[in-house]
Structure 1
Amino acid sequence: MKHLISSLLLLAALPSFAQSTKTIKQSGNPVFSGWYADPEAAIFNHKYWVYPTYSAKYKEQVFLDAFSSDDLTSWKKHDHILDTAAVKWANKAMWAPAIVQKDKKYYLFFGANDIQSDQEIGGIGVAVADKPEGPFKDHLGKPLVDKFYNGAQPIDQFVFKDKDGQYYLIYGGWQHCNIAKLNKDFTGFLPFDDGKIFKEITPEHYVEGPYMFMRNGKYYFMWSEGGWTGPDYSVAYAIGDTPFGPFKRIGKILKQDPKIATGAGHHSVIMNEKKNQYYIVYHRRPLTETDGNHRVTCIDEMKFDQDGNILPIKITNEGVKAQKAK
């Protein structure tokens, strides 16, 4: 009996397996509730930010929300960081925000009005704020790009900062993509050496949603293919030696999984090069939904092979592990 009591006391003094094993937090997919698409991800002040399209009918798309997180798992909503009340020329279809921090200001690029010709008012605008959560105000009082150049609809803007510090606007729908050199205060553009303002860099099968990043000295150019309301919306990519290409399509890396979700596309990327961690932030449509606007924002890991090619991404319901933005 004495030995039994001693053994029980010893066991009681030891931490239980459950107590000593930490539960690893996962983001889960979707990462926040609500119908949101075209997510633009960024890291500001050691915090993750996502700026998506409010996914509804065009006439209801009159504002943009943002979401912030310390660890990719718990997200805080920031309501109406920009709306059409602050942008007099915009009245609907406020789409696909892109954001950049420069000179202690935050510049939010957005599409509005879904113009179908040069005779309509709308296109790509710019808003500015002192904080990533806004409130943002119209930077120009008019669109930055308001016409179809090289056949590209002025939507789906992305701002890329090159290694020399130059900022470029990359954008375009209707199966055409342009790149243009932004001036210092983002009020307009600088001409290229040949005098052109908009250079076309459209790769094979491009539809919309361009995104660019650098890795190991190479330029990765990504875009969305297929129709955004259909199940086969997807993301493909190319690799080039300059932001102007030439870009030859390599292949798809993000697409539907009929067991999990359909319409996986229009993405951005979170990068931690020091830790060699990459995450793709994208939208997809739950299997239960048939409404084209019923899209949700998700995050999954993005990996590369030894040659620098992006491996096909497995879309999941679990999402990614908690990760500090440092």
Structure 2
Amino acid sequence: MKKFLYMIVATLMFASGLFVFGGCAEQTNLGVVELPYYDEEDEKTDYNNSLFYRNDLLETGADPCVIKVTEGEYKDWFFLYGTTDTASCTAYACWKSKDLSNWQAVSICFSPESASWGQASLWAPGVIYDPSDGKYYLFYSAQNSASGYYKTKYLGMAVSDSPAGPFVQYTGVNGNGDEITLGDPIFDIRKAADAPFFQTDYAKETESYKKNTSFIDACPFIDSDGSKYLYMCRSRNAHSSNIISVVKMTDWATPDYSTYTELTTLDRTTLGGSIRPERSETKINEAPFMTERNGKYYLTFSINATIDPEYAVMQAVGDSPMGPFTKVQESEGGLVIGIDYMNNEWDHVLCCGSHAFVMDGDEMWIVYHQDRNRASEGLSGVGSNNRGFACDRVNWVTNQNGLEVLKANGPTTSPQPLPSSYTGYKNLAREAKVTATRTVDGTTTDIDEATCKLLNDGLVRFHEIDIIDEFYAEGVVAVKLTFDDYVTARSLVIYNSCMFDSAFYRVARIDFGFRKEIDGKMCYGTARINDMYYNLEKYSQLDTGVMRPGAPLIAEFDELQINSVTITFVCPDGQENIGVSEIMLMGK
């Protein structure tokens, strides 16, 4: 990726105590001064990748699992494992990164031995670090070619002392007394035939138990009490659809087969229920991931085929890691990330799913794959299995029923702020008091507090059906962020409306109330940016009137101590109002 050529050093002379004006002399009020900035839009220079990232899908692969290493040689590195198309799915590569965007290839971390039961179709690895023994466990699916087994996909497990591998396939006698050799997967559905789940009327009616059932997409999970679980996808071999199931693990080599149970029914919100989800699932619930928060368990999973542009991540919620789970309807915040199926004219992103969540300090991220076949880049816009890794921020949002749900600020294809742990700059707007006024026909009125709070809640709206609201106002709109004390600002990020008819075209003025020590004297003034234009041609489809949501207007500048910022928008003639989805002020 191109490194940013710092364009504005010549005009921002902070180091010498100057700010496009001379010394402070005897006065402390500098009045209004021009603030040079960079908008991340220069075609030659590109964006500053020390502050921002963009999902350019540079690394080939799919089905990412990401962990952040907390100790040892790779402490504070993120490690990514995924379906490795470049190895023809016969091995797994791993990558490392400090910022979740720029990935460095580390190694082929697992390649089955020649005597292993699974040599082909190694898909969707799930990796977990277990602090109880200090080891890393890699669960995987592969096509079984060993004698004594059906020629279908089974689950295996390999172990390493390092996140970089090499991972070695587990062999030995497990807690069930089963001898696991290189020719044996770690999970065999035949040994679960007597599980209570298979004795239920539902399991009998749906023929859930079949000896040649296929499994993929293993996801290990450790609960807060130390209990271990393995989630998986029962895939289409003996059955006509993919669904999610789980088994409790005595240890990582020992499934408690008596606990095996299915967790989802295709196109139903509950197991065996009658209520349909609002978004069609077309034969597939797959790629599970488990998250716990405040005593609730969030089963996130992908729906539709991986080459379907509407491949997306949804969520179901339960009170136990074993379920039962209820899928959250899209109108209640059930979509975690995916395209807007109500507006299927999106041309800039497709096939967003098969994911993992990872915490980085206070920030939560989703890492997932997108298809590269973007119509906005002159390609067909049809899913092609030519996939690359992407990431976006995730927030917890309380829906209209009082339930917390996961919502991603994505999917994005435009520059976004990098993780705060990497840049040293966090979103200070969350700490500001936000006020706003509208001026219509010469009359200025205050905008209510609840509406103003939509501007710094950390949430960006992407979809027509969404529990995320945007700020809307008419006329000349002045938004002010005020801080209790001076903060150090580095960039301002303003997210446009996701609705084309409410998009702003221009920010008329941005005023920063700042202070600067010059010649040993503290000086104060207003640093101003005039007339920033939003690149509507790049971030919307002008011919169809469809936004490419999540693309912000960015002003990057040298560090500046400020205690306020006022942003003035002017609603275009003939437009009812302007919408702003979110304002972020990156600083420290």
- TM-score over 0.5 for the alignment? yes
In the TM superposition, 1:139-158 aligns within 5 A as 139-140=170-171, 141=182, 142-147=184-189, 150=208, 153-158=214-219
The alignment status of 1:76 with 2:104, answered yes or no, reads: yes
Q: 1:219 to 1:12 in 2, by over 3 A?
A: closer
Q: Which amino acid aligns with 1:189?
A: P
The alignment status of 1:321 with 2:424, answered yes or no, reads: no
Q: CA deviation at 1:73?
A: 3.6
Q: CA deviation at 1:83?
A: 1.5
Q: CA deviation at 1:235?
A: 1.0
Q: CA deviation at 1:30?
A: 3.7
Q: 1:319 to 1:53 in 2, by over 3 A?
A: farther
Cα distance in 1 between the residues matched to 2:301 and 2:354: 7
The alignment status of 1:233 with 2:311, answered yes or no, reads: yes
Cα distance in 2 between the residues matched to 1:176 and 1:182: 20
Q: CA deviation at 1:48?
A: 1.0
Q: 1:182 to 1:30 in 2, by over 3 A?
A: farther
Residue of structure 1 equivalent to 2:164: 133
TM-score normalised by length of structure 1: 0.83
Q: 1:134 to 1:12 in 2, by over 3 A?
A: closer
Residue of structure 1 equivalent to 2:299: 221
The alignment status of 1:14 with 2:14, answered yes or no, reads: no
Cα distance in 2 between the residues matched to 1:230 and 1:79: 31
Q: 1:278 to 1:88 in 2, by over 3 A?
A: same
Q: Which runs of 5+ in 1 are unaligned?
A: 1-9
Bigger CA drift: 236-245 or 203-212? 203-212
Q: CA deviation at 1:147?
A: 4.0
The alignment status of 1:96 with 2:193, answered yes or no, reads: no
Q: Tell me the matched-pair count.
A: 305
Cα distance in 1 between the residues matched to 2:55 and 2:244: 30
1:104–1:130 contact (8 Å) kept in structure 2:
yes
The alignment status of 1:301 with 2:393, answered yes or no, reads: yes
The share of aligned pairs that are identical, in percent, is: 25
Q: CA deviation at 1:146?
A: 3.9
Q: 1:259 to 1:320 in 2, by over 3 A?
A: farther
Q: CA deviation at 1:313?
A: 4.2
1:268-325 deviations in Å (ceiling 9; x for gaps) = 11124x62x2111111112136563201110011122234122364211235513438
The alignment status of 1:202 with 2:232, answered yes or no, reads: no
Q: 1:63 to 1:319 in 2, by over 3 A?
A: farther
Q: CA deviation at 1:114?
A: 7.3
The alignment status of 1:167 with 2:228, answered yes or no, reads: yes
The alignment status of 1:292 with 2:389, answered yes or no, reads: no
* Local SS of the residue matching 1:62: coil
1:172-207 deviations in Å (ceiling 9; x for gaps) = 1332222111122x222135xxxx241111253552
2:81–2:94 contact (8 Å) kept in structure 1:
yes
Q: Pick the aligned partner of 1:263 from 326, 351, 359.
A: 351
Residue of structure 1 equivalent to 2:337: 254
Q: Pick the aligned partner of 1:51 from 81, 90, 113.
A: 81
* Local SS of the residue matching 2:336: strand
C-alpha RMSD of matched pairs (Å):
3.1
Q: Which amino acid aligns with 2:16?
A: A
Compare relative contact order (CA 8 Å, sep 6+) and give the higher one, 1 or 2.
Answer: 1
Q: Which has the larger radius of gyration?
A: 2
Q: 1:31 to 1:309 in 2, by over 3 A?
A: same
* Local SS of the residue matching 1:101: strand
* Local SS of the residue matching 1:92: strand
Q: Pick the aligned partner of 2:54 from 21, 24, 28.
A: 28
TM-score normalised by length of structure 2: 0.48
Q: CA deviation at 1:260?
A: 1.9
Residue of structure 1 equivalent to 2:367: 281
Q: 1:12 to 1:144 in 2, by over 3 A?
A: closer
1:121–1:146 contact (8 Å) kept in structure 2:
no
Q: 1:87 to 1:136 in 2, by over 3 A?
A: farther
Q: CA deviation at 1:210?
A: 0.6
Residue of structure 2 equivalent to 1:113: 143
Cα distance in 2 between the residues matched to 1:269 and 1:215: 13
2:302–2:354 contact (8 Å) kept in structure 1:
yes
